[in-house]
Structure 1
């Protein structure tokens, strides 16, 4: 695998979706959680998406329950929560693992491309990866980096 477009991910209905559908568009790939202190970042991510989707930006949210069980068991609860509380319109996918034996292959790849401080492991919810129009992982952002702090880097890719 050489770009994020080479991967398939599971949608909330269980069907597989090829990321090739997003080829030529800048992406933000983020592991999310609905019951986390950083959950308000959904609002900031939606603001970025609304502002730049006409220029091609797509944000891909991947719910994850690996950090203190901060995600609903039912993916429908997750998507409803995101829509009702933060007006999320960007794609939310099936719940995944981002670390460990069962980690999703997409996250294995993005972590290899942009390692974190001291290791490639994701340390918490809302770790964000910026992907260019060619499917290359160009930057990784810590969970505490607010979505609006990504805007300058994103603008260079639009």
Structure 2
């Protein structure tokens, strides 16, 4: 009987030892998996940090490029505004010059009409029609302001 008990105790001891070793192995495996998971999380965190830094650099570059583009666009708008102003000024001068020429050209015609009526000569119908059509050209007056440019909605 003692031998049986001894064998049973030995058997139980082996079973417990195997269970202990199995438990130890499981704990080691769990620890290994936990370390791998921690390393993976750390790696992902570093990747996110790197990506955030890249995005920040890209945002800074984009902001800089947009600022430069806006500055260039403003300069172009100012240049075009000066050009439009210059063209309008030239246009006003041209209209004014044309009006002066028309005034000078109309005075001799009026003088001829008055001389012709004094002399009793009647101008022909063609001459009257030519003078009427010449007088119908649009003219700008000296005091008139140039029309403002159209405003387009944004």
Report the TM-score when normalising by structure 2: 0.17
Normalized per residue, the structure richer in strand is: 1
Normalized per residue, the structure richer in helix is: 2
Report the TM-score when normalising by structure 1: 0.17
